[in-house]
Amino acid sequence: MQIIGAPSLFGWYFVFVVINLTQLLYILYQLRPVTFDRDLDGIYTKMFEPFSISRLEFKRLISAESAQVRRHNDPTNNGTTRATPTATPLVVVGSKFGLL
């Protein structure tokens, strides 16, 4: 006796298992602890933790890929440049700006 739908059924089960495992790995990756060096941890604890900003949001805020440095009178770059990893991160608290 031959079961006709068994190979396609196994294929669909296998695809769904792969999708579920991928989702599980992604969720576990998001739940990993976010750590900083001692200086940034102090800044986070004193300035951002009281406002219920998560460590992940703070990490995104200080990352060099998302930061932009604005220069007002520089015609070579239309007023914006990408920040380098050695640049001082810009801290925004409420409506006030300050450089660390």
pLDDT in tens, the chain (100 residues): 666 777 888 899 999 999 999 999 999 998 888 888 888 888 889 988 899 888 888 888 887 555 555 555 555 555 555 555 555 555 554 444 455 5
Rounded CA gap, 64 and 44, in Å? 17
Q: Which domain holds residue 28?
A: 1-32
Residue 61, CA atoms < 13 Å, CB-side half-sphere: 15
Nearest partner of 67 among 44, 86, 51, judged by Cα: 86
Q: Based on the structure, what is the number of domains in the chain?
A: 2
Is residue 57 domain-shared with residue 27, that is, in the same domain? Answer: no
Give the SS3 label for residue 5. Answer: coil
Is residue 76 domain-shared with residue 62, that is, in the same domain? Answer: yes
Is residue 27 domain-shared with residue 50, that is, in the same domain? Answer: no
Judge whether 55 and 47 are in contact, CB under 8 Å.
no
pLDDT at residue 93, rounded to an integer: 47
Burial class of residue 36 in the structure, from the number of CB atoms within 10 Å of its CB (0-12 exposed, 13-18 middle, 19+ buried): middle
Tokens found for residue 73:
């009178």
